[in-house]
Structure 1
Amino acid sequence: MEGVIDADTRALLSADGALDWCVTEFVRVVDARLPPRVFLRHCPELAEAGTAGPLTPTATPVTLQLLGSDPAALAANAEQAITLGATRLDLNFGCPAKMVNRHDGGASLLRTPVRVGRAVAAVAEVAAARGATVSAKLRLGFDDRRVALACALAAEAGGAHELVVHARTRREGYRPPAHWEWVAKIRAAVSAPVVVNGDIWTLEAYWKARTLSGCDDVMLGRGMLADPWLARRIRHWQASGGERLAATPWSARAEVLCHYAARKQAAGMAEKFIVSLLKQWLNIMRGRDAEAAARFTALRRETALAPLLAGLAHPATEPATYPAPTPA
C-alpha cells in the first residue's frame, strides 16, 4: 500500500497486539543494489532489528517488501536487506498501478508465470542461505484468470514459503467484488500456506473470505485503515466464541489520526504534507463510518493543521460545530 503504510502507521495499527505481522511499502528494485538508506527509509525498524528481525514498538514482526522484475537485481537487494537485519521478505506481484506496470513491475509479471518463478527463485536462494524466508503477493492474473494457478505454482516452485492472494485481477483493480472463492482453487493447487486478501472491511467479510477461500489467515489492507479496531474485533470474536465488540467509536478513530499527526510533527514533516496524509486516511475511513464521513465533508478544504486536528478531536456527542476552513 504505497504512500499509506509507513512505520508510523504500522506502529499505531499494531499497538494493540492483534496483528500477526506487518508489511512495508515496497522497495522499488530496478537494476542496482540499493544503499542501506533506502531500506531504512522504507523500514526504519531495521535500525533496531535483532535476531527476530525488524519489529514494531509492540514487537509485531515486519516483513520487508521488494518490487521488481530482474532476478539478479532482486537477489542483490534481498541480500542487502538481510544484511541490514530483515528476516522476512515479500515479493510484490500484485501492484496494479499503471506507472509500476508500465515499468515492468508489480502485477505486470503475472502475464508470464515463468518470470514470477524466476524472480522468487533468485530471492529464495539468497534468503535460504541467510536464514530468511520469502513470501509472494499475487493477484488472480493481469487481464484475466487464465494463468492464476500457473503463477501460484511458479511462485511456490521458486521457493515462496507463503502466498498472499488478492482476490481480483489487475484489470479489476479494487472494484468489488473480490473473488474469494477463486482463491480456494489456488489453495487446492499448492502446498504452501495461502493467505486471502481483498475487500475485508468487516468481521462478516473476514468470515466470508475465510469460508469461501478455505484459508486459515487473511491479510487486512484498507480495512485496517477504515477501522483501526478490525484486527482486534476479529481476535475478540475468535477468543470469545462469537462475541462481538461494539462499533469502533469516533474517539478511537480520532485518537489514531491525531497520534499519527503528532508522530509526523515530531519527525519534522511539513504541515501541508501532514494535512494531506490525514485527509487521505480520513477519506478511507469515511466509506465505512458515518461520523468519519461527516468530518471529512466538514474538513476537506482545511489547509492548516491545528484547525484540522481540532475538527477531528471534537466530541462526536456534541453539535457538529466544526471550524471554518482556513482560506487558501
Structure 2
Amino acid sequence: MGRLLLAPMEGLADYLLRDVLTQVGGYDGAVTEFVRASGSLLPHRTYRRISPEIDNGGRTSGGTPVVVQLLGSDPAALAENAARLCELSPPGVDLNFGCPAKTVNSHGGGAMLLADPECLYRIAGAVRRAVPRHIPFTAKMRLGVEDTSLALDCARALEAGGAEGLVVHARTKRDGYRPPAHWEWIARIRDVVKLPVVANGEVWSEDDWRRCRSVSGADDVMLGRGAVSDPFLARRIAAGAEVPADRDAEWSELLHLIGDFWERVQLKVEARHAPGRLKQWINMLRRNFPAAELLYQDLRAQPECRAVDHVLRRHGVPLLQAAA
C-alpha cells in the first residue's frame, strides 16, 4: 500500500506533537521542521533541539524514524551543515524547497528557489557530496513560485544533483495552502524522473488518500495538516479501516494524547506561551471531533496554565500533575 510519512510543519508540528502523533501508529517516517543553514556552521545542539530523536537512534518514542530537514540558498553552507548533521547519524537528510512563508522567501530560501532550477542542481549536488552514501538524501518541493512552468525542470534538477527521493507538495508558493492540490502534476513529475516521488497536499481523509494515489500515481503519501486534525488517520489508512460511525472511542484515546501533549508543552515553553500551543492543536481537531469544539470554546479565553488545567480536567483529560 506504500508508505505514510508525517510532513514537516513549521510552527505547528514540533517534536512534541510529532511524538504524540507517531505514538498512535501508522507512520513509516517523519520529517522535522527546517533547520536554517546560512553562513555559519551550526553546532550539534541545534540539530538536537529540532530533533531530540537523534539521541534515540533517530526515532520517536513510538519507533518512527525522523529525517532532519535543512533550509537555505547557499550550496556551500548547506553542504557544510549537512556534513555536520551527518556526524549525528540521522535517518536521513532532507532539503526544503517548499516553504511559502514570507520570512523564509524574503531571504531567497524555501519555495523561492524554484524559480532557478540551476540553483537547485548546485545545492543538491553540493549536499549530495557532503552526505555519506549510507544516509538517505531527499528533497521536498512545490510546483513553482507563481506557476507550474518550471516544475518539471526543478524535479529534473534535483534528481540530477543527486537527490534519492522527492516529496512534491502539489501547489505553488502562490497557492499557499488553498485547495485544491494539483495531484495531476505529481503524475507529470513522476513521468520525467526515475527517483521515488511522494505525494503531498490536501489529504484529510481515507478517501482523499485513495484519490491522491490514483491521480498522482504515487504509492507513498505524506500527511500534513490532515494528520494534525485527525491523529488516527494514518493508523486507519495503514489498517485499511474507515472512520468509525461513533468516534467516542477515538476521542477517549485522544484525551490521553492531549493530556500528554499539554504536560510536555509546559516543560518546553514559557508558561505564557503554553496555552496558545494547546489551543492551536485543539482548534484543528474541531474539524473531525465535535467534542473538540466544546473543549476549544472553553479554552479559548484562558490565558493561564492553571485555568487550562481546570478546563482540561472538566472535559476528562487525564493530567499527571497534582490538581491545583
- Structure 1 and Structure 2 fold alike (TM over 0.5): yes
Supply the RMSD in Å over aligned alpha carbons.
Answer: 1.7
User: 1:39 maps to which residue?
Assistant: 47
* Structure 2 spans left out of the alignment, 5+ residues: 1-8, 317-324
User: 1:324 maps to which residue?
Assistant: none
Number of residues of Structure 1 aligned to a counterpart in Structure 2: 305
The amino acid across from 1:108 in the alignment is M
Distance 1:83 1:255, change over 3 A: same
User: 2:296 maps to which residue?
Assistant: 296
Native 8 Å contact 1:135 1:163 kept in 2: yes
Tell me by how many angstroms 1:119 deviates.
1.0
Secondary structure of 2:199's match?
strand
1:136 aligns with 2:115: no
Tell me by how many angstroms 1:84 deviates.
1.7
Q: Deviations over 1:40-76 (max 9, x none)?
A: 1111111243xxxx11112211100000010000000
1:173 aligns with 2:176: yes
Tell me by how many angstroms 1:257 deviates.
1.8
User: 2:232 maps to which residue?
Assistant: 229
Secondary structure of 1:3's match?
coil
User: 2:287 maps to which residue?
Assistant: 287
Tell me by how many angstroms 1:17 deviates.
3.2
* Structure 1 spans left out of the alignment, 5+ residues: 238-242, 317-328
More RCO (CA 8 Å, sep 6+):
2
Native 8 Å contact 1:93 1:106 kept in 2: yes
Q: Deviations over 1:166-216 (max 9, x none)?
A: 110000000011111111101111101110001111111111111110000
User: 2:28 maps to which residue?
Assistant: 20
User: 1:251 maps to which residue?
Assistant: 252
Looking at structure 2, the residues matched to 118 and 179 of structure 1 have their Cα atoms a distance apart, in angstroms, of 27
Within 5 Å, give how 1:119-134 maps onto structure 2. Answer: 119-127=123-131, 129=132, 131-134=134-137
The percentage of counterpart residues that share the same residue type is 45
Native 8 Å contact 1:251 1:315 kept in 2: no
Native 8 Å contact 1:196 1:217 kept in 2: yes
Give the TM-score of the pair, scaled to structure 1: 0.88
Higher mean C-alpha displacement, 290-299 vs 56-65: 290-299
Looking at structure 1, the residues matched to 66 and 307 of structure 2 have their Cα atoms a distance apart, in angstroms, of 34
Distance 1:178 1:314, change over 3 A: farther
Looking at structure 2, the residues matched to 309 and 110 of structure 1 have their Cα atoms a distance apart, in angstroms, of 45
Tell me by how many angstroms 1:121 deviates.
1.1
Give the TM-score of the pair, scaled to structure 2: 0.89
